Structure 1
Amino acid sequence: MLANTRRLFRLSSLKHRLVLLTSVLACAAVLLTTALDHTRERNAADAHQRVQAQALTAHIATLTAAGVAANDTGALNRTLEAFDSFPHIQRLVVTDRQDQVLAAVSRTPRGTLAPDGQTQVGAVHISRSRDLRAPIGPIAPTGWVHLSLDAPPRPPFFTATTALLLALILVVAALAVIGILRRPLADLAHAEALASALPAGTLIPPPRAGALDETQALSEALLHAAERVRQAQDRLAASHARVRAITDAALDSIITIDAAGCVIDFNPAAENCFGYRRQDTLGHPIAELIIPPHLREAHNRGMAHYLATGEGPVLSRQIEVLAMRKDGDTFPADMAIVPIDLNGAPGFTAYLRDISGRKQSEQALLEAKSLAEAANQAKSDFLANMSHEIRTPMNAIIGMTDLALETRLDDEQREYLTLSRDAADSLLSIVNDLLDYSKIAAGKLDFERIGFGLRDCIALSHRTLKDAAERKHLSFTYHVAPTVPDHLVGDPHRLRQVLINLIGNALKFTESGHITIHVGLTESTADSTELKFSVEDSGIGIAKDKQQLIFDAFSQADTSSTRRFGGTGLGLTICSQLIDSMQGKLWVDSEPGKGSTFHFTARFERASAPAAPITRPAETDLGSLRILVIAGNEASRSHLTGMIESWNMLCDTCASGAEALAGFSGEGPEVRYHAIVADTDLGDMSAFRFFERLNAHALAHPPIRLMTANAGQRGDAARCRSLGIQAYLSRPIEPSDLLDAILLAIGTDGIQPLITRHSLREQRRRLNVLLAEDNKVNQMLALRLLEKLGHATHVVNNGLEALAACESTHFDVVLMDVQMPEMGGFEATAKLREREAVTGRHTPIIAMTAHAMPGDRERCLAAGMDDYVAKPVQPTSLAAALAAIVSGDQRVVHREAAAAVASRPLTAFDQDTLLANLGGDRELMMQLATLYLDDEIALRESLKIACSGGDLQAIHSAVHGLKGAVANFSADSAMAAASALESVCRNGETERLDHAITQFNAELDRFAEALRGVAA
């Protein structure tokens, strides 16, 4: 039974399910209606009986009123028994007011009413009875009548009529449902047939007319879908046909395999390449067909790895493999493998191309290249060896010729030997070019990586060819921009070789006029720098269409140049190769008849430990020095003036000795010069004659005297001493030598031996300096100043790090900031002096302080320091302090920053003063500005935090740190506001604190805005 019921409810037919549902709903409706009618009839019968019983009870109460009043029990019993004809009455009881039974009758088994003798109203229990009570008496009850009636019989709920009606309704409902659903079900069956035909693309006739809208729409949608499926299948078939045609016509082998590695497609090109027929390969493992045996294991591992991870190192890229033909022959092939989808399973298509012919061609090319390189190497080796063999006797010829020229010769002999030496020099130059070119071709040209001084290198190049320039009466000068760093790492010999080659060309093609070397800065970082070199001449020039030709090997602008000036045509080619190796480029600007300028760039590393120039023995404010330059040659005068003005010195010039002497004639107010720099040739007289005539003037303030010469002559030193000339420098004059000579002569008032290039070298000493400074701007400034002074510097950020550095390394001097985090300068000095009390070794310490207040030097000395410099640190102040430490004489006069500020109007940022302090180094000024702006937020945030806490000591420390950074920029207004705020903090003037902070922040904003214009 249960199984049949389950099968019934598992009917899959929509028609059967709808009939069953309709029947169940109809039965439920009939049963519900019958139940409602039965309930309504029963309630009506109950209500009718209740009304009749109440009326009967009231009637009995009326009939028994007299008997109750008379207390006549017998009369009462007779009255009650008279109601025997009412079959529903089961018991009647009459009571008095106290419910004491006066008379009582009950239905006997015979169906009659008879007295029951019970004295209690409820003594007789009657099941399924209804009890009523009515008062006896019209106004005040004298007793009660109690009536018990049995319940009327209830009609049956489910009758035969009801069952018949229910069956009839079920039959009618089922027939109605079947009739209504017959057409829609037929339409659904048609739609089902359409859906079943979709995958196959079979066409089904459209639905019949009269179908429901829904089924009509469904059928039409299915018809459209069927049409689209058919069209897609047609396109897919056409695409497959095209792919097959392409595959069959492809020149490359195309092989498709499944996840098991078995072939499922093998195109005709693959048949021709591997020697298999397509039908012989289908279903066979690819590894057994085209992969050599020793590579099959690797192939299987790769397949397994891809199937496990979905990744493959050779997929979707071209690789070179070794393939195998049917006969076992192997050949190289280019292969690309692409993963494809094979009905949800992974597959692969491999594209292979036989590259045996290409490999053979490549091998032939490699062999030919090797033969050519071997031949070229043999040629280069031969040239290198021959050049070396020729150089040895040539050097001997030149040397012996020079020795012969130093002996006594008549004019004819000297002329012959001079011609021989010049010819030997020319031949040696040609041999050198051939040697370098052969080294370049042979790959044997090595580059050194050593530290060197750029200006020394330029000066040496200048000195090498200055005699040749003098013989042609050419002005030959050089100029290095002040911003160009001097201490570099690279190959100075190769740089000098390029310069000498370019200068030599300029000398060769210039008959009159000048040759000038310019060096400028194009790019600079913390680690490297790129420089631009220019060699300018006033020679014959080069035509535009010939300018590229001159850089080719063995080429010159025209053949007449070779006949007239000589040369191999290799010089510029060698220069170009050398410059390429220095990460630069070479080019030329020229016009015929107007001269040429050869430019080249080169990149060098910056040296971490530069060579040291001389330390200055005393502090001197360079901007206050006034120098007179006298030179008859304009190029020499311009060269000297450029160097002096780059140090912010005041410079006047004269083109002749007479013009200069006129200024000392006494006819006008005497111009006080700190020094006179006179060239050997003053045009109208020699420098010696000028100084002789100058000595005849009684000068109130005689200047220091310096003389420059093209070449030193015997007896010049004695004449200098006799004329009171303090310094004598021969060309080429290096800027550091000229500056050192001026400052050394001024600092000693000329009371010392004659200053020459050699004496400057002997006095030079390089110091190992420890810089303890926490502010990044101050660090950079001090580092650059120390670098320019030639000292090696190690940087630490606080006193603790300074102590650790001094423990591990010996320093010649320590530059110590006074206020630093973790440990300040005074505390670090005290700790260091405690150590030195044990070791017995003394390290000089120079304090750096931004206070610049009276008594600072005494406080520093009391703390154990040897000297101090005020911030902002001036180059001359620092040089003087270091010189005093070296010499042991610490009687140094310090320029107070406060006095300097008071002497000029307050400004947000004095760019001119800053540039003067930095020696005209605009690059350094921009770097300092950028560094301050980068750190400004952090510096001002520390002040903000200190102000929010209200701690005057913390505010003072934060202001001092900002003041130390700002002081470097000659920011007078900000410095004044900082000093005012420091004073408020020191004196505890809390009522002025907010105003002082606001004023300081406003000045910092002004200063930062001005500084952004410099950093931009």
Structure 2
Amino acid sequence: MNGFLLVLSAALPSFLLGYALRRFTLKWQTKANAAKLQADIQAEQMTATVSASLDGIIIINSEGRIVEFSESAERIFGYKKKEILGQNMATFIVPERYRDAHNAGMERMRETGKANILGQRIEIEAVRSNGEEFMSELAISRSRSSSGDIFIAYIRDISEAKAAEKALVDAKEAAELANRAKTQFISAMSHEIRTPFNAVLGILDILGDSPLTQDQKHLIQTAERTSKSLLRIINDVLDYARISSGSVKVRDEPFFAADVFDDVYRLFAMQAKERGVDLIIKSEDSSKIHLVGDVGRIRQILMNFVSNAIKYTDTGKVELIVDATQTDQRKWILMCRVKDTGVGIKADKLGRLFEEFYMIDDVDTRSSEGTGLGLTICKVLVKMMNGEIGVESEFGQGSDFWIRIPLAEASATLVSDVEDVTFEDISGKEILLAEDNATNRMVVTRILKKHGAKIVEAVNGVEALSILDVQAFDLLLTDIFMPEMGGKELVRLLRKRDSINAKIPVIALTAMGDMHEAEDLKSYGVDQVVLKPFNTRDLINAVAEQCKSHQERQSFERSDDPEVPAMKITGGLLDGLDPEDLVEIRGQFEIDLTDVTASLRRAIASQDQQAAKFASHTLKGLAGLYGLAELSEFAALTNSHCFPHTLDEMVEHGSRAIELAEISLLNLDDLFGYNEEAA
């Protein structure tokens, strides 16, 4: 018994140790199985995620070798997973021109642990198995594994999206190009159509002022009305084309609301009288206010309304009614109505009245001319001004066309500028007319000569420029489209030249689309634009206004000359000279300084570096000889900056040198300490 107990006591520790070991092993194995199961589940989930992803997923290790390649990646790149696993990613999917940068980035990442591309979404070219490059969107993240860092790249093929985007851009550019071509065509057609009309109306205007029989006057009036009627049709077509191309803009200017119908009334009063129709204006008290808006476009709409009203009214009256309603402080609604007692409009046609090319009359049987665009244009223009347009009519009882436009009240400053321009005498004014159309030259010349102006003619910009270099003028009248050199280039060169006429006012006579387009001409140096066809009043008024403004500017400039610093010829150069010598030296100095200043001005204006270098060198020596230190200094600075990379400095210093030279020329007496008249 004791022996059994002895054996048992000796075996117990081993048993207990074995039991504990088995329990520990079983517990560890259970945990290991659970961890393996969890890992298997995660791996299955990862595989399912990778497989389901529409983006290509590529996993690489820190050496840049591929350890995972999804089905989407196979589809994107054209490689099978089994043939690309273990390969260097750069060799297969990175374009050759990027491989060195890619490898350098991987090396930098291995050395520093930093990668600039992580956490970013970039667009970059990639390459397929067939060598085709495509645009891809790439995002890379880093993860840690038991074998080290791994990098997961999510790649999306965006080549189709990019192609679609490019197609949209190309289509937009093509549309813009077509639109520009269309606008250019419209401008050209406008010029070609309006120019002959300018001559026709001008000739009729001249004939109307000459002694005529009653029958001849009647014929001229008929021709004038017919021409204006045709011109309105042409204007409708051109306006519609410009509106379609988006080139028509509305402008804001102050006007007196109660007068909005005045020009319209004067234009149609005779036509209404001939048809036996009373044309009546009613201005409500509330309309006697100054507003800000595009009064030209508003009148264009009203002219269309009145023209139609007279056209379709045989007896009775046409009323022009203007009213205004205040909606807020300094905000108003301008209400304009044109009511007639004419034939009216049938209910089934009323709804289509503002449609494009729609005409109430049948094309084959209608009794009046037109394009069917007038009311369409009116509707678009009203919409551009944020207003409303409408019509009320009953067949056989007349029609009531109306517009409502929201406008701001004009400030006192703007109102003070709204004045009728007075007519002034232009007799004796020297005017150069540049116009290639012989008939237009004849008409304009006759009109201006009749009012006392003196005219010199040029057939294009080249001829005009040569005349402007040698003869002084009060004003230049120029067409825009001319052979050899057009009006834009003529004015641009005139403003840059050292010419006696460089600052004279310029009026452009143009048959461009409208005043909104013509405003662009002012960037070339044009002071005012008169649109063809124009009448005598427009032309004389413009010439008088510009000549008067130019005279006022000249007077102001003379009274506002810069204060001239005290200047004196230094260095003893003139010591001991008698008056005769001073007169001769002063005269030669004036000639030399005038010539070199003009040369430098031309060189600076055209940024001609070689010419500026030569002129500034001459000016530096001349100023230095006479001891004009500041002038010599700026001439030297100009001379040292006559290089392509220092053009701005050349212009800056050259302009200052020219200014000092001009001051010197204005003050020769002070410079020489001598008065020529007293000598």
- The TM-score range, normalised by the shorter chain, is 0.3 to 0.5
Larger Rg: 1
TM-score normalised per structure 2: 0.45
Structure number with greater CO (CA < 8 Å, separation at least 6) is 2
TM-score, structure 1 length as denominator? Answer: 0.32
